[in-house]
Amino acid sequence: MIKWYIETRVPVRFPGEGHVEALTAMVSDEDYPFFQYKPIKDGDTWDLGGRIIEALHTPGHSPGSVCFLDKANRILYSGDTVNIGIIIPNKPEGTEKDLAIYRDSIAKIWNRQEEFDKLAIGHDGGLIDKGIVKDYLDLATGILEGSIVGQYEEVGIRKGVVARLGAAELWYRCDA
């Protein structure tokens, strides 16, 4: 996974800077015994020295997408589940199923909106207002119901159909 990320994403985000070669040289195909992966389940909690974090499984952008809720500090660490722009990759069988899964994940988050005020998103920004979650919920629902129709665009690394509502920008049927 690390090598795939290095080979596919680094050239786009850092073109011509030699990052691919440097990072690839640091990654080995050997298994490292000190990396013991433990599956994260929906509802798991961790005490990080007095700060309790709860995992929320939120598939859609990817099957394993997870958010982390810090109720005491009223922050949802949303990763790529809620960001400035979300991508649902294109698949030969279509993206409607993945879009419905994403909508359900966003609804799950919105149903807990009384527990957080801000989101710490995965990239492209810092803390943002939770209202974007409702924008994504309305946007995904509208696309699935047919009341919102996106248009094909090519912007940077993104190539696909995009629809926007409020602060939300949802790319679906994306080939890149």
pLDDT at 24: 63
> Which residue in the block uniquely carries the two structure tokens 């009223």?
74
pLDDT at 158: 84
> Cβ neighbours of residue 115 under 8 Å, at least 6 residues apart?
69, 71, 74, 76
DSSP code for 120 = E
Q: CATH says 38-174 is which class?
A: alpha beta
Per-residue pLDDT of the chain in tens (176 residues, 90 and over written 9): 666 666 776 676 667 766 666 666 666 555 444 445 678 899 999 999 989 999 999 998 888 899 999 999 999 999 889 988 888 887 766 678 899 999 999 999 999 999 999 999 987 677 999 999 999 999 999 999 999 999 999 988 888 899 999 999 999 888 76
Alpha helices in 14-124 (DSSP H): 19-26, 96-110
Task: At 114, list the tokens.
Answer: 């009384």
- The alpha carbon torsion through 32, 122, 135, 153 (nearest 10 deg) reads -90
All CATH 3.60.15.10 domain ranges of the chain, comma separated, are 38-174
Give phi and psi for 147, each to the nearest 5: -80, -15
Confidence (pTM): 0.78
